[in-house]
Structure 1
Amino acid sequence: MKPTLYLCMNRRLGAQGSCAAGGNDRLFAALEREIASRGLDWRVMANPCMGHCAKGPNLKAAPAGPFLEHCVDGDAVQVIERLEKAGWPNSG
């Protein structure tokens, strides 16, 4: 399985928070740019609700990677560095 970052793109209506309302569309684009600039063979994919709306925006690294919460577009570099420091994707 190709290393994949799944970003929750769920948008809830009303005053309730959601990952999409929190800017995951911008994080999606920022991660794609950063992955390409580093020459990583990873992909970024949209995912439906992950059930942690109050802690979003959220992403899951697969296979066998961590679940990250409260991510924003300015975190793309830190997200990738955190995953690499943890040994992902080879840690699974």
Structure 2
Amino acid sequence: MQIQNESPYIVHVFVCTNDRGGERKSCADNNSQLVKDQLKKAVDGKGWKGKVRVSTSGCMGVCGEGPNVMIYPQKLWFSRVSPDDVDAVLSVIERLMSEA
């Protein structure tokens, strides 16, 4: 039987890294793995480990707007995220952490 738990994270960041191998547009076409890696490194550097989780996500269904980043449980969605946008996403995470 399943066990239901509450998330241990204040902020859970999902970065789509879906790669369709060039057959159709996908988040991986625009460096989504680099976005994820930069977010993860920054979160660790800020000492948020255990409070903020950065996870890989599969397709979110809006590949044409990718790369896509979702933040839960706050229900925030960022589209067309590039490595240059990582600091802006981190600012949002920092605000959410201060409100928690």
Q: Structure 2 length normalisation: TM-score?
A: 0.77
1:46, 1:6 → 2: CA distance? 6
Q: 2:26 — aligned with what?
A: 18
1:16–1:22 Cα change, 3 Å: same
The answer to whether residue 96 in structure 2 is matched with residue 53 in structure 1 is no
Q: CA deviation at 1:77?
A: 1.3
Gaps spanning 5+ residues in structure 1: where? none
SS in 2 for 1:75: helix
Percent identity over the alignment is 24
Q: Which runs of 5+ in 2 are unaligned?
A: 1-6
Instruction: Kindly tell me the number of residue pairs found equivalent between the two proteins.
Output: 90
Higher helix share: 2
| Local SS of the residue matching 1:21 | helix
Which amino acid in structure 2 is aligned with residue 19 of structure 1? C
Shift of 1:12: 1.5
Report the Cα offset of residue 15 of structure 1: 5.2
SS at 1:27 equivalent: helix
Question: CA-atom RMSD, angstroms?
Answer: 2.0
After the TM superposition, which parts of structure 1 deviate over 4 Å for at least 4 consecutive aligned residues? 89-92
State whether residues 64 and 91 of structure 1, in contact with CA within 8 Å, keep that contact through their aligned partners in structure 2.
no
Question: Which of structures 1 and 2 has the bigger CA Rg?
Answer: 2
